[in-house]
């Protein structure tokens, strides 16, 4: 039960005393983690978040990437600013 430290302690002690249950729960947790958190799923999720974030950023022009002396400003524009895609549409 929530906010019941005694119940949590009792459950932990019971788990410590039952190696077979620990092994079953551990194997089930590992299988679930491998199912839910694959590299491919994480890459797709982060790519989606990244594209959503940059879709709200203004596209910078080359002129914006130069300083007052005409020298390039490093990282003044993201690489996506040079690519066509939904993030470059107004």
- Number of neighbours of residue 12 by Cβ within 10 angstroms: 10
Indicate the domain borders of the chain: 1-37, 39-90
Q: Give the global pTM.
A: 0.47
pLDDT at residue 40 in the model: 92
> How far is Cα 11 from Cα 9, in angstroms, rounded to an integer?
5
pLDDT at residue 81 in the model: 66
What single-letter DSSP state applies at residue 72? B
Q: What are the 10-residue block averages of pLDDT along the chain, 90 residues in total?
A: 94 97 97 93 90 74 72 72 61
pLDDT at residue 53 in the model: 82
pLDDT at residue 35 in the model: 92
pLDDT at residue 83 in the model: 62
pLDDT at residue 54 in the model: 78
Buried b (16+ CB within 10 A) or exposed e, 15-37: eeeeeeeeeeeeeeeeeeeeeee
């Amino acid at each position: 039960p929530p906010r019941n430290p005694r119940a949590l302690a009792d459950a932990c002690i019971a788990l410590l005393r039952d190696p077979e249950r620990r092994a079953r729960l551990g194997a089930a947790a590992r299988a679930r983690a491998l199912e839910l958190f694959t590299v491919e799923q994480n890459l797709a999720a982060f790519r989606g978040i990244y594209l959503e974030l940059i879709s709200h950023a203004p596209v910078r022009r080359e002129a914006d990437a130069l300083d007052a002396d005409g020298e390039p400003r490093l990282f003044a524009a993201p690489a996506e600013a040079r690519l066509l895609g939904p993030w470059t549409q107004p």
